[in-house]
Amino acid sequence: MSTRAEEALDRQATPWLFACAIATALPHAAHQAYWLSAASLLLLGWAVGLWWKNERLPGRWPLILLVIAGCGGILIEFRTLFGRDAGVAMLVLFMAMKLLELKSRRDAMVVIVLGYFLLLTHYLYSQSIPTGIWLLLALWLLTATLIRLHGGASSTRSMSLRYAARLCLQAVPFMLVLYLLFPRISGPLWGLPSDAHAGMTGLSDTMSPGSISRLAQSADIAFRARFVDTLPARHKLYWRGPVLENFDGTTWRPHIGQGTPAALDKLSPPVRYELTLEPHNQRWILALDAPVHLPEGLLLNATLAATQRQPATERQRFQLAASLDYRFNVAEDSRTLQRNLSTPRESNPKARALALGWRQTSGGPKEIIRKAQDLFAAEFTYTLQPPLLGQNGIDEFLFTTRRGFCEHYAGAFVFLMRAAGIPARVVTGYQGGEFNPLDSHLVIRQSDAHAWAEVWLDDQGWLRVDPTASVSPARIETGIVDALAFDEPLPALVQLRTDWLRNLRYRWEAVNNAWNQHILGYDPQRQRELLSRLGLPETDWRSLATLLGIACSLLVAAMTAWTLYQRPRLDPALRLWQKALRQLARRQVHCAPWETPMALAQRVREQHPALGEPFQNVVDAYLRVRYDDANDNLTPLREAIARLRR
Amino acid sequence: MKIAPSLKQLLFRWKSDGTGPLRLGQRRIFIVPSRGGLLFALALVVMLLGAINYNLALGHALVFLLAGLGIVGMIHTFRNLFGLTITPGRCEPVFAGEIAFFPLSLDNDRTAPRLALELAADAAFPVGAAVDSLGKARVRVPLPAPRRGWLALPRVRLTTRYPLGLFTAWSYLQPEMQCLVYPKPIDAPLPLAGSSDWGGDRHGDGGQEDFSGFRERQPADSPRHVAWKASARHAGEAPLLIKTFAGGTQSKLVFEWQHTAPELSDEVRLGILTGWILAAEAAGNAYGLRLPHLSLPPERGSRHCQRCLEALALFPS
């Protein structure tokens, strides 16, 4: 009966805590080092075993040794104790170790709070809808455990779960108010650890044979676009990423250094669209060719690629416009042209000889380009699984294997052009996209990654030439699925050829997009928009805080009022009885708390003989309703009370 | 320093709640975050900083949901006490040195059960209680009874942390209840039957036949009962012996204040008398009690026993 015993953890509550530990830590197993998951599982197994056999928990020294061993392991694995992955690993290990120390209710509280904390860490890896649902369920379990912990054994499993669900539902209005009104601060408050944004996929800034075909096997979404007016024709959808000018024989790299600013002649009215870029940890934003009217914060570099100052580490939205027909850098800097004519000496002699032959026999650059396109159209195959290439890769590709993906065609084409004396360079990016009719968004996946070429001609500037279009016109006109044979290793998600499956995917992606746009994409900008739509323009954090305070107080007041003014539910017979007592009180007869109905009737007979008979009837009817199980009929009581009034 | 008590009185309503049922209203329920709640709040702040730093939209949502949960938990903790009706009961007398139990009846007129209530009159002796939906629970609040006399129930603290344990809500109850504490019985041999002069019913003088043996003298024994001859045989090396007499079941005893050694303190003498009464009651004897200020004629039965013990408990000191 002492306080200590009261605070001790009851045995039946412990499995709840095991369940909490599993629910909050398990999803981390997907991306954690195997030894960490194994160690955590072993610790959990140990704790469960001790609980099952009702044995004593280990003392302090074994635990301290375990902590030291765990920290040592993490230090060896991650070379640090801080940072995202190391921090999460520590939390998971501590959670498992705390299970070996479950003695009092306070220890259990630590497990729960640690569990809540672990929930947050999952969002560092994914904020998708399934993660959200899983974590909501885990939150429910944690809350039910708290209730079970504090309610003691009289709080059963179903009762705890139901109560927890009710509490969580009642917390939702607070969450909404806070989510909408809490002053949002964007950007990191302090330096993020170096591994904060590890594991993002996307184009890299170099291209070698195989780099794009590898990327194209992923169905991940690279970005989405929503056009304000009409969707442009598919073959015009070239989304420009890094432009690669330097070639060392196998790998294409961008030129480092400032060039002259891009000079653009728009030849068609701008097409406006909104681009939602998934994080890819690079600075380019993959604007549609050719970007015009860039919003503030974006830069157009000398190669017509739109970039921003910081790598895209989170989902971003841009309002952009593009001129689909354009003339670009007609007066190009001579050093740039020189750079785009150079090829590594002594490499690929056969290709070089072919190009020189073209140069000598043809009338001009246009004809040379035509010849190269004809070459590709004749006997080349478009495939995701090209054979490996050796030292003189372009020669091998052009004259022996003749199988390749867009990076092979773009690389070989640019090499041929340069050898033939035409300035040319490789442009990487994405081509096409899939239109989702449900939410009118164009979805561009990693499988839409593409590489093409740009040649510079007198009076025309840089001109886009897509050698892949010669090999496989379908790639440009309808997309990669139709351009490749059935047995190519495209992701299943992209390949769906059945209508209803495709529809299902459209639906799922539309939901995801709405989730990203409206829930995850709620940023300071959106907050301002919402508030000005609510009639509160020009809000600063002070007015937001005031608004937040008012809204929260109103909610608390509403809930408290609901609590305070909840009338106890009276038994109907008792309510009628109280009505009869009020009748008596009007005649100055007050029922004392200890007086039984019979005693009261006796007193009434003595004090008010006239009232004695009718009141006795009320008492009889009341006692019949209360104590006769078979009789639930309230009518006689009601009638007796009505007679009392007369 | 005179302000402190009146301030406390004002804040915590240190005044009697009477003997009737009392319903907990919002003005007498206090609520503060518990230790677990502070830990939770700290975790929320760290989580919010993390969510802002890594720009986690769902992290914000999680933190806000948990903050909402905390507020809702506070209201529900308050609700766990609000509207509870407490009716004092009647408490059974105890002997000094034992623990007195003050029965309280807790009535719940809500459909939700009220769990994990804790009542404590003395912080070292809390007692738990749970009241079912629309139910009633009887709880006996323990309180050590160190001294004889009336033991008034001090302020009782009714505490709960249910459901989430993030807040501690409490209320002070002061029902007018007291428990009679009998003196602590001291085991002592019954005085010689017949040493009393009650109503001429003396048969002690002829008690020689009932002589049943000797026993060692206790401090409570009157020097008159010492068996000097028997004691002398041990030449002062053993304690003094007392003659004992086998009292018949029909014998009537009267325990007198004067039977106890006058050099002892009043409390010890009362304890001895208590012991005698209990022994006589256990043996089924009729017995009377004569104290300086009142006398009870010999009788038998638990009612009489209680009356005698009450007289001893309330003996003016």
- Of all residues in chain B, the one with the smallest CA distance to A523 is B57
> How are strands ordered across the β-sheet holding B22-23?
B22-23, B85-88, B99-107, B136-144
Query: A23-32, A531-540, B225-234: lowest mean pLDDT where?
Result: B225-234
Min distance A474 CA to chain B CA atoms (Å): 40
Tell me which residue of A193, A180, A344 sits closest to B60, measured CA to CA.
A180
Q: Helix-strand-coil percent breakdown of chain A, rounded to 5?
A: 55, 15, 35
CA nearest to B27 within chain A: A564
* Cβ atoms B70, B44 nearer than 8 A: yes
Mean pLDDT by 10 residues, chain B (317 residues): 59 67 86 94 94 88 95 93 89 92 90 90 90 88 93 92 92 90 88 51 42 66 70 67 58 82 88 90 86 88 90 88
Average pLDDT over residues A164-170: 95
* The pLDDT value given to residue B201: 42
Q: How many CB pairs under 8 A join A and B?
A: 175
- What distance in Å separates residue A577's CA from the closest CA in chain B? 17
Quote the pLDDT of residue B251. 59
Note if A406 is an active site residue.
yes
- Check residue B12 and give its pLDDT: 59
Listed residue (B80, B79, B78, B85) closest to B30, CA to CA = B78
**Full-model pTM:** 0.73
Q: Which of A406, A408, A441, A591 is catalytic?
A: A406
Is A174 in the B-facing interface, judged by CB distances under 8 Å?
A: yes
pLDDT band for A108, please (50, 70, 90 cuts). very high
Q: Mean of the per-residue pLDDT values for chain A?
A: 85
What's the rounded Cα separation, in Å, for the pair B133 and B83?
13
> B176: distance to nearest CA of chain A, Å?
17
The residues of chain B that CATH labels 2.60.40.3770 are: 7-182
The CATH classification number of B7-182 equals 2.60.40.3770
Q: Give the 3-state secondary structure of A577-614.
A: HHHHHHHHHHCCCCCCCCCCHHHHHHHHHHHCHHHHHH
What the block records as the tokens of A402 is: 């003749």
A242-273 tens-digit pLDDT: 999 888 888 888 888 776 777 888 888 889 99
d(CA A336, CA A334): 5
Q: What is the pLDDT of residue A630?
A: 67
Catalytic entry in A289, A448, A450, A591: A450
**A77-86, A366-375, B200-209 — most confident range:** A366-375
CA-wise closest residue to A146 among B164, B26, B108: B164
Distance from CA of B119 to the nearest CA of A (A): 11
Q: Do B162 and A106 touch (CB under 8 A)?
A: no
Select from B53, B68, B79 the Cβ nearest to the Cβ of A563.
Answer: B79
Residue A381 has pLDDT above 80, yes or no: yes
The residue of B31, B38, B115 whose CB has the most chain A CBs within 10 angstroms, and thus the best one to mutate to test that interface, is B115
| A593-612 residues touching B, CB cutoff 8 A | 593
Q: How large is the average pLDDT for residues A91-102?
A: 91
CB contact under 8 A, B66 and A314: no
- What pLDDT is attached to residue B66? 96
Instruction: Spell B56-94 as b/e; 16+ CB within 10 A means b.
Output: bbbbbbbbbbbbbbbbbbbbbbbbbbbbbbbbbeebebb
**A378: pLDDT strictly greater than 70:** yes
A225 has a pLDDT exceeding 50 = yes
Residue A474's pLDDT band (cuts 50, 70, 90): confident
- To the query of whether residue A466 is one of the catalytic residues in this protein, the response is yes
Q: Give the confidence band of A486 by pLDDT, cuts at 50, 70, 90.
A: low
Instruction: Give pLDDT tens digits for A383-427.
Output: 887 888 877 888 888 888 888 888 889 999 999 999 988 899 999
Provide the pLDDT for residue B206: 38
- The pLDDT, as a whole number, for residue A209 is 81
- Interface predicted TM-score (ipTM): 0.76
Mean pLDDT value across residues A7-13: 81
- Which residue has better confidence, A365 or B13? A365
